[in-house]
Structure 1
Amino acid sequence: MLLVDLSTVAPRERADAFHHALTDSSVPNEVVHEEPEAGIHARMELWRVGGLDLFSTRNSGFEVRRNERHVRHHRSSPVISVSLQPEGAHRAEVAGRQQVLGPDDICVFHELSPRVYGWSGDGASRSVMFDVDRLDVPVDTVVRASQRLRASPMYDLVLNHLRSVWRDPARLEADPGAGALASATTELVRALLLSAAHAEDAPAVRSTMDDTLLTRILAYARRHLADRDLTPERIAQEHAVSVRRLYLLLNDAGISLEQWLITERLTKAREMLAAPRYDRLTVAAVAARCGFSSPSHFSRRFQAAYGASPSEWRRQRAGSGVTETDPA
């Protein structure tokens, strides 16, 4: 069901229409838009699958803030949202901890906890909404789990399940098995939250997490190469280690973090410059998407690494008829 398409709404009315469709009048929030009213755009849809609400939005940059006062005026049947971020770099803050979320992340919010959430530029979110009573997980457990979901060995299982649910929600909505699917999804999400909230208490899980720490750190850094604020401090915080331990771990593996990030970003930029789908992007835009704050610095680094400027590389690859595999 289409909730709103702001392209059909007068510019001066878009902020109010956005707020009404996003939050419902019974759920107070503060919504701040990145662009003036005329620049706000959004398309929001809702499906009902076996008693679960599936909410999808694709919209311009915004931030929704929910504080203690908002929480005290919650609706009679609060919800827990479990969302995927198929497009854009999303920002979230819960219990004083900030997160940057991408396409491989699950984001969990309990309506009875304060939070900040949003993104810059165009982005998209797909959320499954669970009634608090149905999911039956305490607020503090949800909050704790939301900050360490990847600590659970069930994480990939639930991530893939949610992706499958979102492949064709309209078809699932009318399926005779929708009720059973909703129950299975609820049980999987409950298991993930309980597992993540208590995962590090188990010695076997702690050992596994330690053994895979380097792999997880490098995978996280690759997912966030476009973020200019991908600092050692942020990487360490996201993995609950000190900056000193982060550097010791990398040094033991023979990795210089700064040089590794430059190499990964240059590799991604080289692939983008050779991929036809990015032909319309300027060299400066490619540099920005790969996490370089200065186009001139990017060009110098690229020239030193590949013996040609970014523009020369793009022309050479186009002339040769050979293209790189599109970067993820």
Structure 2
Amino acid sequence: MLLLDLEEVAPEDRVEAFHHALTDTSVPNDVRHEAPEAGIRARFEAWRLGPLDLFEARSTGFEVHRGDRHVRRHRDRPVVSVSLQTQGVHRAENAGERYTLGPDDIAVFHELAPRRYGWSGEGASRSVTIDMQHLGLPVGTVVRASVRLRSSPLYDLALAHLRTLWQAPAVLAADPGATALATATTELVRALLTSAAHEETDRRVRSALDECLVSRITAYVRRHLTEPDLSPDRIAREHAISRRHMYAVLGRAGISLEQWVIGERLEAACRLLVSPRHTGLPVSAVAARCGFSSPSHFTRRFRAAYGVTPREWRRHHVHQSAAVPTPPTEPTSPRERH
């Protein structure tokens, strides 16, 4: 969604329009433009990815300063911003340190901490803002981590993931999996910050790394659920870990990989069997689309899980939807059978 294009604003109103747009989409700041007399250009766009806000800014040089008085005016639900610098050399001051940021750097700022940030000449950045309550980390942890992010072994992974969000933000925002993607992004950022703020041997780091890895594995499996060759070895290889380590991490999260994958595939099959768009799809085709190697194996698993065959499940729900609505006598969601 386009928030601001200063080309559509009268030159004498551009400073005020820039400030209002930045304050509305960010947090209270003092804004200083590098060369306002030469003309200010800016374009701001935003997308909503589940509970996350994605914000892209392109503009002439400026600097924002957030001091103690701005911190005291924070919103009811403060945020943490995580940004990438896509054009120009950016300058920042945070946690008492001054540094520059380039295209391979991640910048992190907490709304409840003072900071400076900006760039000279033409520049651009892309940021994700995460609700502080969703992130679940103290201000001190975020600030401490922000100046030593590269010390974390998760840095390159987080950088690649954040870049992926910006390949097609509008498409991702409209995808049914947007909320799950937002959750995985939040957990990855939490793991990165926890890792950078503490020693690797700290139990908090291990816990954060585990949570991040579990989210990545489950998100990967859901993306490739319909592929019959989705094996444990392939999943472990895609995440650069051993099969043994993968099983250990999932076990600590209470997940049995094979059973979880079967359960996810069965739920996908349940939805497909009763979908009005797929009423003519043979059960064997449903099995194949949901990643089962054979119709007989699919039927055995389905009956074991739900007590009926796939055909009986479909027939029951088709008849139920055609009848006058009454309180259901059987569960309408596979999970309710457990």
Q: Is TM (by shorter chain) over 0.5?
A: yes
2:134 corresponding residue in structure 1: 134
1:38 Cα offset (Å): 5.3
Q: Could you tell me how far apart the structure 2 residues matched to 1:24 and 1:117 are?
A: 17
Deviation string 1:5-35 (CA, Å, 9 cap, x unpaired) is 0011011111111111112289321000001
Q: Which residue of 2 aligns with 1:119?
A: 119
Q: Pairwise mapping of residues 86-101 of structure 1 onto structure 2 (< 5 A)?
A: 86-101=86-101
Q: Is the 8 A contact 1:12 1:38 kept in 2?
A: no
**Contact residue 12 and residue 37 of structure 1 kept, 8 A:** no
5 Å matches for 1:215-234?
Answer: none
The CA deviation string for residues 188-216 of structure 1, in whole angstroms up to 9 with x for no partner, is 000000000013777xx9xxxxxxxxxxx
- Alignment correspondent of 2:103: 103
Counterpart of 1:114, as a letter, is P
- 1:226-250 residue CA offsets vs partner (Å, 9 max, x unmatched): xxxxxxxxxxxxxxxxxxxxxxxxx
CA contact (8 A) 2:95 2:147 kept: no
After the TM superposition, list the runs of 4 or more consecutive aligned residues in structure 1 that deviate by more than 4 angstroms: none
Larger radius of gyration: 2
Flag the 1:201–1:69 CA change in 2: closer, same or farther, 3 A: farther
Which residue of the partner structure matches residue 195 of structure 1? 195
Alignment of 1:5-44 (within 5 A): 5-24=5-24, 27-36=27-36, 39-44=39-44
Distance 2:45 2:13 in 1: 19
**Aligned match of 2:170:** 170
Please report the RMSD computed on the Cα atoms of aligned residues, expressed in angstroms. Answer: 1.6
Sequence identity of aligned pairs in percent? Answer: 68
Q: Distance in 2 between matches of 1:26 and 1:54?
A: 11
Distance 1:96 1:177, change over 3 A: same
Cα 1:37–1:129, aligned 2, differ >3 Å: closer, same or farther? farther
Contact 1:151 1:200 (8 Å CA) reproduced: no
1:92–1:115 contact (8 Å) kept in structure 2? yes
Which amino acid in structure 2 is aligned with residue 15 of structure 1? V
Q: Which amino acid aligns with 1:119?
A: W
Retained in 2: the 8 A contact 1:26–1:75? no
Q: Which residue of 2 aligns with 1:309?
A: none
Tell me, in whole angstroms, the C-alpha distance in 1 between the residues paired with 2:144 and 2:4: 33
> Aligned letter for 2:14?
R
SS at match of 2:167: coil
Please give the residue correspondences for 1:1-328 in structure 2 after superposition, counting only pairs within 5 Å.
1-24=1-24, 27-36=27-36, 39-199=39-199
Matched to 1:19, the amino acid is H
Q: Is the 8 A contact 1:15 1:37 kept in 2?
A: no
Aligned counterparts of 1:192 and 1:79: Cα–Cα separation in 2: 16
Q: Residues 106 and 159 of structure 2 are in contact (CA less than 8 Å); yes or no, is this contact kept in structure 1?
A: yes
SS in 1 for 2:153: coil
**CA separation of 1:104/1:117 partners in 2, compared to 1, >3 Å: closer, same or farther?**
same
Distance in 2 between residues matched to 1:16 and 1:117, nearest whole Å:
19
Letter of the structure 2 residue corresponding to residue 74 of structure 1? H
Where 1:103 maps in the other structure, the secondary structure is coil
Q: Figure out how many residues of one structure are paired with residues of the other and give that number.
A: 203
**What are structure 1's unaligned runs of at least 5 residues?**
206-328
- One-letter identity of the residue aligned with 1:140: G
Paired AA for residue 101 in structure 2: L
